[in-house]
């Protein structure tokens, strides 16, 4: 029988009167089938970062499969649900403060699903260690560093990307291996399809499809060097149902075929 936690015992669910505060932070191991559900969300901000295993995470009425590095950023009042599909480990952080809305806005970091870099995980554990010392001053500094690192990880804060487009970019980053329609991305952004396509191309200097295929090809290249899986299997894993189409795009991007790319000496890759 699955264990369900509904958030009713959240003793750190409050809004700090300071400009910035860490309400609580920690790691947890969730057995397979364990579920956390907060239908009304929390009154503070919440970061959920997958360290190991696999979760299904709900955000904005849609479900996402997150593995190591997958991250959900929830704003106050946003419904939360995540379930461990296998025994999994995650990092959680609850934070609040009067300055946060302005900080997150200036960093163009809307709530949503992200793929975090190893640097984000490193900063998360630094924050965890500093919070354990009881020094609020250092914890606040570490929280700021974590926010800035996450912002740098998922986009250029100086690029002027509208937050609505940023949310769509974050969605593609986490779901590049799936079929994503222009309708779905436009819905995430809140714009019409034509307006979304224009803003996306203007902000990212490429179309949504080309951006997604770029992510697929980059990940395929890494898999070619780090695994012995057949080219067709790798093409399927990154989201291409047609191996010939994958090979054509890969060759155009890297100048050589996937098979030739795999055979290159490591120091050339």
pLDDT at 169: 83
pLDDT at 134: 86
Contact 125, 75 (CB under 8 A): no
pLDDT at 156: 44
Cα distance between residue 264 and residue 253, in whole Å: 16
What does residue 256 show for φ and ψ, rounded to 5 degrees?
-140, 165
Q: Compute mean pLDDT per 10 residues along the chain, 269 residues long, and list them.
A: 71 87 93 91 94 89 86 92 94 93 85 87 93 88 92 60 75 87 89 89 88 90 87 93 95 94 67
Place of tokens 């950023």: 73
Q: Which of these, 121, 122, 93, 72, lies nearest to 26 by C-alpha position?
A: 93
Range 183-189, long-range pairs (CB < 8 A, 24+ positions): 188/60, 188/164, 189/164, 189/165
pLDDT at 124: 94
Domain ranges of the chain: 4-158, 164-205, 209-268
209-268 CATH: 1.10.10.60
Q: Does domain 4-158 have CATH number 2.60.120.280?
A: yes
Q: Which of these, 86, 87, 152, lies nearest to 122 by C-alpha position?
A: 152
Entry field: residues in the chain: 269
């Amino acid at each position: 029988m699955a264990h369900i936690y509904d958030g009713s015992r959240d003793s750190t669910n409050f809004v700090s009167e300071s400009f910035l505060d860490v309400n609580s932070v920690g790691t947890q191991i969730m057995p397979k089938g364990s579920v956390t559900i907060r239908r009304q969300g929390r009154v503070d901000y919440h970061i959920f970062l997958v360290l190991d295993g696999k979760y299904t995470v709900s955000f904005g009425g849609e479900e996402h499969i997150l593995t190591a590095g997958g991250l959900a950023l929830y704003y106050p009042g946003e419904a939360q649900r995540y379930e461990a599909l296998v025994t999994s480990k995650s990092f959680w952080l609850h934070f609040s403060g009067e300055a946060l809305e302005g900080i997150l806005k200036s960093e163009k970091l809307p709530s949503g699903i992200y793929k975090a870099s190893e640097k984000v995980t490193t900063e998360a554990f630094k924050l965890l260690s500093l919070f354990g010392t009881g020094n609020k001053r250092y914890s606040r500094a570490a929280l700021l560093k974590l926010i800035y690192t996450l912002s740098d990880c998922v986009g250029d804060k100086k690029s002027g990307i509208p937050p609505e487009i940023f949310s769509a970019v974050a969605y593609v980053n986490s779901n590049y291996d799936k079929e994503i329609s222009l309708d779905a991305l436009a819905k995430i952004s809140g714009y019409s399809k034509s307006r979304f396509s224009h803003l996306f191309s203007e902000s990212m200097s490429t179309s949504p499809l080309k951006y997604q295929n770029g992510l697929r090809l980059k990940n395929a290249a890494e898999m070619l060097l780090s695994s012995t899986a057949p080219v067709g299997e790798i093409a399927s894993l990154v989201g291409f149902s047609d191996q010939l189409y994958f090979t054509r795009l890969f060759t155009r991007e890297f100048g050589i075929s996937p098979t030739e790319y795999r055979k290159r000496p490591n120091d050339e890759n």
